[in-house]
């Protein structure tokens, strides 16, 4: 870099802003590491109810309350990132500082003590919040902001997002599909879960250190902007009035909801409909590898031809109708397998560029409100993501409890027919509701059309020495 910063740098420094594939892969592996914990979260309810013997209603209450705390911590972390100044930048250092606490927190989640309901509630609440509210927030939000700080180029941010979403499922593959078989291999007990999660924690730590080492911040604020502190009231007002921030947040929230929804219900579906919970690993692998292959092979070409919004919209419409086909026979394993395949294939376009949407929202904020706020935009989006996920978790566990689901820490419990019917109904109709919401949001999203004008105006402002 020659000292030129901001949008004007796009005109003269496109070579410097291009990222090597090793850098892209190193960035993507950072999300692989973090998805070890999200993969674990998707089957955490199953562990709590069927290994630790915790009532599903307790799990739902803990997760809902925790997500509210988590949302508050996201906003705080957004301001912290904006005010961080170190030799490594403002987002990158947090990946280094939080990598070890994050790894430790994964293991603590599974060390639930046997005892009274109050003791279990307290332990789950403390460890769940230590992992998600503190460690994951202080890691993930700076990590997301980092993509907007590594390059000025929108197309490079899109490729970072595609690479990230190609590699991120690998963490879920480790934490989900390999976990249940390994747990059974190590004794099918709570201690077996602890041993397996310790292994994943080490893997996550090493990948996070690689991400920190290779991913440098190249988008530097001007000395004037670096010294200027935007009042919280003004920053939050700009965020609240940014309509595309709310749309991107809605998309990110629905992305989390569908993953959490299917990840929570499918283990129960396999255990009580197909009488074999190990089948979940097969279903998860089919969906995940389909997403990876589609993201890697098709999404870059689709992105170039249709743009982020259009390729995502077409994919979700196909996912909606594909799930309707599954309803022909929801008790057939082959049809459930088909639903996983079609979801993985058609969800890949939106999944691949979800963070590219937020990068463009950062530019829109600078254009519309003269405030560039990477940390606050990514943190604000995460608030909606986590609160939405918390509501889904509370809804699912509440409905299971309402239907009479029987928790058991030992052998498989006999479930009442009402609980079986609830499990089937949730998987039948839940995804359709989520897809419908996504279709409405994408239909209203117009930033792709506006973006060329935004960049022209920002370049002209930078040339005049304006914000």
Q: Could you read off the pLDDT of 68-82 as tens digits, one per residue?
A: 777 678 778 888 887
Which structural domain range is residue 427 located in? Answer: 18-215+232-463
| Angle CA 164–168–172, to nearest 5 | 170
Q: What would the mean pLDDT of 99-120 be, rounded to a whole number? A: 88
Residue 8 belongs to some domain of the structure: no
Domain presence at residue 221? no
- Check residue 467 and give its pLDDT: 64
Site of tokens 């000025």: 152
- Spatial distance between the Cα atoms of 71 and 44, rounded to a whole number of angstroms: 20
Judge whether residue 313 has pLDDT over 90: yes
Q: How far is CA 348 from CA 159, 283, 389, 428, in A?
A: 14, 16, 20, 21
> Is residue 222 included in any domain, yes or no?
no
User: What does the buried/exposed string (b/e) look like for 380-401 if buried means 16 or more CB atoms within 10 Å of the residue's CB?
Assistant: bbbbbbbbbbbbbbbbbbbbbb
| Secondary structure percentages of the chain, helix, strand, coil, to 5 | 80, 0, 20
Q: Other C-beta atoms within 10 Å of 237: how many? A: 13
Instruction: Give DSSP secondary structure letters for 130-199.
Output: IIIIIIIHHHHHHHHHHHHHH-S-HHHHHHHHHHHHHHTHHHHIIIIITHHHHHHHTTSSHHHHHHHHHH
Q: How far apart are CA 69 and CA 73, in angstroms?
A: 6
The pTM for the full model equals: 0.70
CB 309 within 8 A of CB 439: no
Which range has highest mean pLDDT (217-221, 331-335, 396-400)?
331-335
Asked if residue 43 has pLDDT above 50, the reply is yes
3: left (phi over 0), alpha (psi -120 to 50) or beta: left
Q: What is the DSSP letter of 89?
A: B
Look at residue 72 and tell me if it is in a domain. Answer: yes
φ and ψ at 89, to 5 degrees? 110, -155
Residue 248: inside a domain: yes
Question: Residue with structure tokens 């990514």?
Answer: 378
Is residue 359 a part of any domain in this protein?
Answer: yes
**Which token pair is 317?**
């419409």
Longest dimension (CA), the chain: 72
Q: Is 6 contained in some domain?
A: no
Contact by Cβ (8 Å): 309, 445: yes
Question: For the domain that residue 103 is a member of, what is the CATH number?
Answer: 1.20.1250.20
**CB atoms near residue 167 (< 10 Å):** 24
Could you tell me if residue 220 is inside a domain? no
Residue-wise pLDDT for 178-207, tens only, equals: 888 888 888 888 888 899 889 889 989 999
pLDDT per position as a tens digit, 384-424: 777 777 778 778 888 888 888 887 654 456 788 898 899 99
- As for how many domains the chain has, the answer is 1
């Amino acid at each position: 870099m020659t000292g030129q910063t901001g949008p004007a740098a796009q005109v003269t420094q496109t070579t410097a802003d291009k990222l090597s594939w090793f850098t892209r892969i190193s960035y993507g592996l950072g999300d692989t590491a973090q998805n070890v914990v999200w993969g674990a979260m998707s089957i955490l309810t199953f562990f709590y109810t069927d290994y630790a013997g915790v009532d599903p209603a307790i799990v739902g209450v803990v997760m809902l309350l925790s997500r509210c705390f988590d949302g508050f911590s996201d906003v705080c972390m957004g301001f912290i990132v904006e005010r961080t100044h170190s030799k490594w930048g403002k987002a990158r250092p947090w990946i280094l500082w939080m990598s070890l606490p994050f790894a430790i927190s994964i293991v603590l989640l599974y060390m639930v003590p046997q005892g009274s309901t109050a003791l279990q509630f307290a332990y789950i609440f403390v460890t769940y919040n230590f992992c998600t509210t503190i460690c994951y927030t202080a890691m993930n939000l700076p990590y997301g902001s980092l993509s907007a700080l590594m390059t000025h180029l929108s197309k490079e941010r899109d490729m970072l997002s595609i690479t990230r979403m190609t590699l991120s499922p690998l963490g879920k593959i480790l934490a989900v599909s390999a976990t249940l078989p390994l747990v059974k291999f190590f004794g099918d007990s709570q201690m077996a879960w602890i041993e397996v999660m310790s292994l994943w924690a080490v893997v996550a730590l090493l990948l996070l250190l690689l991400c920190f080492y290779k991913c440098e911040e190249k988008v530097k604020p001007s000395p004037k902007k670096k010294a200027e502190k935007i009042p919280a009231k003004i920053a939050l007002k700009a965020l609240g009035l940014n309509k595309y921030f709310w749309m991107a947040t809605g998309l990110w929230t629905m992305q989390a909801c569908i993953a959490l929804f299917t990840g929570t219900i499918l283990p129960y579906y396999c255990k009580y409909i197909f009488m074999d919970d190990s089948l979940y690993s097969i279903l998860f692998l089919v969906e995940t590898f389909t997403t990876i292959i589609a993201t890697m092979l098709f999404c870059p070409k689709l992105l170039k031809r249709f743009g982020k919004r259009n390729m995502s919209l077409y994919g979700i419409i196909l996912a909606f109708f594909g799930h309707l086909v599954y309803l022909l026979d929801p008790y057939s394993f082959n049809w459930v397998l088909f639903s996983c395949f079609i979801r993985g294939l058609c969800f890949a376009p939106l999944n691949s560029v979800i963070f590219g949407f937020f990068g463009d929202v950062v530019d829109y904020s600078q254009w519309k409100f003269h405030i560039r706020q990477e940390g606050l935009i990514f943190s604000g989006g995460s608030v909606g993501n986590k609160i939405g996920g918390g509501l889904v978790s509370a809804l699912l566990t509440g409905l299971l409890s309402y239907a009479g689901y029987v928790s058991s820490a030992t052998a498989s419990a006999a479930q009442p027919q009402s609980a079986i019917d609830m499990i089937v109904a949730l998987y039948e109709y839940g995804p359709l509701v989520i897809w419908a919401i996504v279709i409405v949001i994408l239909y209203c999203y117009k930033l792709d059309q506006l973006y060329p004008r935004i960049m022209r105006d920002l370049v002209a402002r930078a040339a005049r020495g304006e914000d």
